[in-house]
Amino acid sequence: MFYEPKNQNHGLPKNPFNSLVIPRPIGWISSIDSDGVFNLAPYSFFNAVCYRPPTVMFSAGASSTDDRNKDTARNVETTGEFVCNLAIWELREQMNLSSATLPPETDEIALAGLTPVGSTLVKAPRIAEAPVQLECKYVKTTLIPGWDHGDGYKVIFGEVIGVHIDDAMITEGGLIDVAKMMPIGRLGYNDYARVDADSIFTIARPG
């Protein structure tokens, strides 16, 4: 089949695009607002973008609130910092709970029954249960205009200035044990995937 996304003429019951760029890593972003309220939300439009300096990005769409900003985007742009926590199989239900659309004064970390712990270099909290936490300093926002009036997306970039790794996830050879962590990724619709020992394969790079 072929379709033009702008015309939305795919003829399918749901937009297939979200299930074509897959699997997508999940940026589980924790932040804090100017009043000290914690926020936690998962973003599947997320990835690492470079090594030096190590930088990540996530894309936040417009929300239904009056200022049309996601709480996370507003917090990051206001405070200049955030933490990206690794979403794993063991925490899949908590990750899903934190995706709910809630008032800005709601603490999703408490709602999901997770434990906030202090960061080393930023004020935003880390999630104690996550085996990896990346402390990030806000770099910039790139605006992506939408097709409809008032619609749009913010692509937010952050430099990773501090990395926390659970020692239990490091092998004797000093490598990250991805199979032990079992990170999860988004497949679109309501579907997800997990990385485990059975799904990992190795191919040596040529040259």
Task: Let me know: does 131 contact 91? Beta carbons within 8 Å.
Answer: no
pLDDT value at 144 more than 70: yes
Q: Which residue has the tokens 């917090």?
A: 75
At residue 151, the pLDDT reads: 78
Nearest to 98 by CA among 143, 179, 31, 182: 31
Instruction: Categorize the per-residue pLDDT at 66 as very low, low, confident or very high, splitting at 50, 70 and 90.
Output: very low
pLDDT single digits (tens) 24-60: 999 999 999 999 999 999 999 999 999 999 999 999 9
Question: What's the CA gap between 205 and 207, in Å, rounded?
Answer: 7
Max CA distance (Å), the chain: 55
The domain defined by 24-199 folds into Pnp Oxidase; Chain A (2.30.110)
Model pLDDT, residue 68? 47
pLDDT score recorded for residue 67: 52
> What integer pLDDT is reported at residue 65 of this predicted model?
52
Is the pLDDT confidence value at 20 over 80? yes
User: Is 186 within 8 Å of 23 (Cβ atoms)?
Assistant: yes
Residue pointed to by tokens 């962590």: 181
Cα within 13 Å of Cα(66), Cβ side: 0
For the residues of 66-108, what is the DSSP string, one character each? TT---HHHHHHHHHSEEEEEEPBGGGHHHHHHTTS---TT--H
Tell which wins on pLDDT, 67 or 162. 162
Q: Which residues pair with 69 in a beta bridge?
A: none
Read off φ and ψ for residue 4, nearest 5 degrees: -100, 115
- Residue 131: how many other CB atoms lie within 10 Å: 23
Mean pLDDT across the stretch 182-194? 96
Amino acid found at 45: F
Task: Please give the share of the chain, as a percent, with pLDDT higher than 70.
Answer: 96
**Residue 189: per-residue pLDDT:** 93
pLDDT of residue 101: 87
